[in-house]
Amino acid sequence: MKILITDTDTKITSVLKNGLNQHEIEVRDSLDNDYISNFNCVIIQSQSNKCDTPEDLNLKTQKTYNILSSCVESGIKKVVMISTLSLMQEYKESYTVTEKWKSTPSTELDILSSHLSEIIFKEFARTFSFQKILLRIGFPLSSSEAEATEKSSLSETELIDSVNKIIDTNFNERYEIIHIQNKSESQRFLTNKFEDLSKLSGKQEQGFYTPIERRL
CATH (domain of 167): 3.40.50.720
The reply to whether 216 falls in a domain is no
Global pTM reads 0.91
Nearest to 142 by CA among 157, 155, 159, 160: 155
The reply to whether 212 falls in a domain is no
The reply to whether 211 falls in a domain is no
The reply to whether 207 falls in a domain is no
The reply to whether 205 falls in a domain is no
User: How confident is the prediction along the chain (216 residues), in pLDDT tens digits per residue?
Assistant: 999 999 998 999 999 999 999 999 999 988 889 999 999 999 999 988 789 999 999 999 999 999 999 999 999 999 999 999 999 999 999 998 999 999 999 889 999 999 999 999 999 998 898 899 999 999 999 999 888 889 999 999 999 999 999 999 999 888 999 999 999 888 999 999 999 998 998 755 555 445 545 444
When divided into structural domains, the chain yields a total of 1
The reply to whether 214 falls in a domain is no
The reply to whether 75 falls in a domain is yes
The reply to whether 134 falls in a domain is yes
Give me the domain span that covers residue 121: 2-200
